[in-house]
Amino acid sequence: MPATHNKVYRTKGYKAGGQILSWAYFHDLGCYAVKREKGIDYFKHPHDFKTLPGFEVNQLARLNMLYSGDSGMSAWFSRQIKYEYRKRWVNFQPQQPERYYLPEIDGDTRKHKVILKWLPPKFLKKIPLRKMRQDFMDGFRWWYYDGRTGEAVIVLCKDKQWETVRIFDPMWLTNLSHKDVQALFRNQIFFDVPDMVQALQFMRVIRLCSIFKIHAGADWKAISEKYFKKDTSKS
108/85: higher pLDDT: 85
Q: Which of 55-64, 126-135, 222-231 has the lowest mean pLDDT?
A: 222-231
> Which sequence spans correspond to the domains of the chain?
3-118, 137-226
Rg (CA), the chain: 21
pLDDT, position 41? 96
> What ranges in the chain are assigned the alpha helix state H?
54-61, 72-86, 178-185, 196-212, 220-223
Per-residue pLDDT tens over the stretch 176-197:
999 999 999 999 999 999 999 9
Note the pLDDT tens digit of each residue in 71-90.
Answer: 999 999 999 999 999 999 99
On whether the CB atoms of residues 46 and 77 are closer than 8 A, the answer is yes
List, for residues 51-72, the tens digit of each pLDDT value.
999 999 999 999 999 999 999 9
- Intra-chain end-to-end CA distance of the chain, in Å: 50
Query: What confidence score (pLDDT) does residue 235 get?
Result: 42
Percent of the chain with pLDDT over 90: 74
**pLDDT of 3:** 56
Is residue 26 over pLDDT 90?
yes
